[in-house]
Amino acid sequence: MMANAGQDENIDFSVDKNNLYNEESITDLKVASIRVLKPVNIDGTEDNSRKMIYIGHTQLMSPQGPIPIQAKLKAENLKDAIDEFPEAMKQSMAEMIERARKMQAQMKQQNDSRIIVPGR
Task: Check if the beta carbon of residue 70 is closer than 8 Å to that of residue 81.
Answer: no
The whole-number pLDDT of residue 1 equals 47
Whether 4 is covered by a domain: the verdict is: no
Tens of pLDDT, residue by residue over 5-44, are 556 688 999 999 999 999 999 999 999 999 999 999 999 9
Whether 3 is covered by a domain: the verdict is: no
Whether 101 is covered by a domain: the verdict is: yes
d(CA 100, CA 81): 27
CA 73-75-76 angle, to 5 degrees, is 150
Task: Check if the beta carbon of residue 34 is closer than 8 Å to that of residue 54.
Answer: yes
Which residue range forms the structural domain that includes residue 86? 16-112
d(CA 110, CA 114): 7
Whether 104 is covered by a domain: the verdict is: yes
Tens of pLDDT, residue by residue over 67-92, are 999 999 999 999 999 999 999 999 99
Whether 46 is covered by a domain: the verdict is: yes
Q: Is the pLDDT of residue 114 over 80?
A: no
The whole-number pLDDT of residue 9 equals 80
pLDDT band, residue 120 (cuts 50/70/90):
low
The amino acid at 60: L
pTM of the model as a whole: 0.76
Whether 37 is covered by a domain: the verdict is: yes
| Number of domains comprising the chain | 1
Lowest mean pLDDT among 16-25, 45-54, 108-117: 108-117
pLDDT band, residue 52 (cuts 50/70/90):
very high
Whether 5 is covered by a domain: the verdict is: no
12 DSSP 8-state letter: -
CA 14-18-20 angle, to 5 degrees, is 80
Whether 2 is covered by a domain: the verdict is: no
